[in-house]
Amino acid sequence: MITTKNDKVKILYVEDDDITRENAIEYLENYFVNIYEAKDGLEALKKFEQINPDIIITDIQMPKVDGLEFIKSVRQKNKEVQVIVITAFSHKEYLLKAIELQLVKYLMKPIKENELKDALELCVNNLKNSSTNIIKLNESSVFDKYNHTLLINDKLIKLRIKETDLLTLLLNNKDRYVTYEEIENYVWKDFPMTKDALKTLVKYLKQKISKDIISNQNGVGYKINV
């Protein structure tokens, strides 16, 4: 049960109606610290790339890119993100498409607060209990993505915020090189990133884990080797 504000989970709320979105954000702020919003599927795709959310709540009928197409694009990159779809439609066509996208819940408008809260609690529990949260980096190092903790030889190693964010981003995309732009958006957020600052950050992580944990492809980006 959600009783205190959660500061670990990032939520992306997608809704084209301004009043509905504002009311929902106000409700979510009772339980979560990190809430982001988008007014259509196209903006949502950009926000998804920038923040790498843990939970997505999206409407279906939206301009530019609808909710199901947005989630379909998300699923091509991230199989673990928790998704709640909200819609005023109960057409069989939508339901069948939604099933294929591994949704946590399919909620009908008007949304009841208790139903949304129950769905969010399910999402948070799924994140907490997911075996994919515990990542073995090497023989002596383990990283817990949900709790943001690094253990080396069973000893807790303190990570700075940017170190945690970079490690999480690389692990979420461990099958490819993460571009400099993606790293800047996710780790530096609204501030500019320099190549020297990124190199220093990578150096600190390597010192704490191992020198071979992260590799660089010049002109492309960084990749984690796990």
For position 38, which CATH number holds?
3.40.50.2300
Domain boundary among 112, 129, 146: 129
Q: Which residues contact 164 (CB under 8 A, 6 or more apart)?
A: 148
Q: Is the domain of 89 the same as that of 179?
A: no
Q: Is the domain of 11 the same as that of 108?
A: yes
What confidence tens digit (pLDDT) does each residue in 22-66 have? 999 999 999 999 999 999 999 999 999 888 899 999 998 888 888
What confidence tens digit (pLDDT) does each residue in 165-214 have? 999 999 988 889 999 999 999 999 889 999 999 999 999 999 999 999 99
pLDDT band at 99 (very low <50, low <70, confident <90, very high): low
**Within a domain: residue 186?**
yes
Q: Is the domain of 124 the same as that of 163?
A: no
CA–CA distances in Å: residue 171 to residues 80, 145, 164: 12, 9, 11
Q: Is the domain of 165 the same as that of 195?
A: yes
Q: Is the domain of 116 the same as that of 148?
A: no
**Within a domain: residue 1?**
no
Q: Is the domain of 115 the same as that of 155?
A: no
CB 143 within 8 A of CB 149: yes
Give the Cα separation of 155 and 52 in Å (integer): 28
CATH of the domain at 215: 1.10.10.10
Assessment of whether the complete model's pTM goes beyond 0.75: no
Q: How many domains does the chain have?
A: 2
- Domain with 74 in it: 6-129
Q: Is the domain of 98 the same as that of 110?
A: yes
Q: Which residues contact 195 (CB under 8 A, 6 or more apart)?
A: 180
Task: Name the residue with tokens 């205190």.
Answer: 4
H or E element, residue 195 = helix 195-208
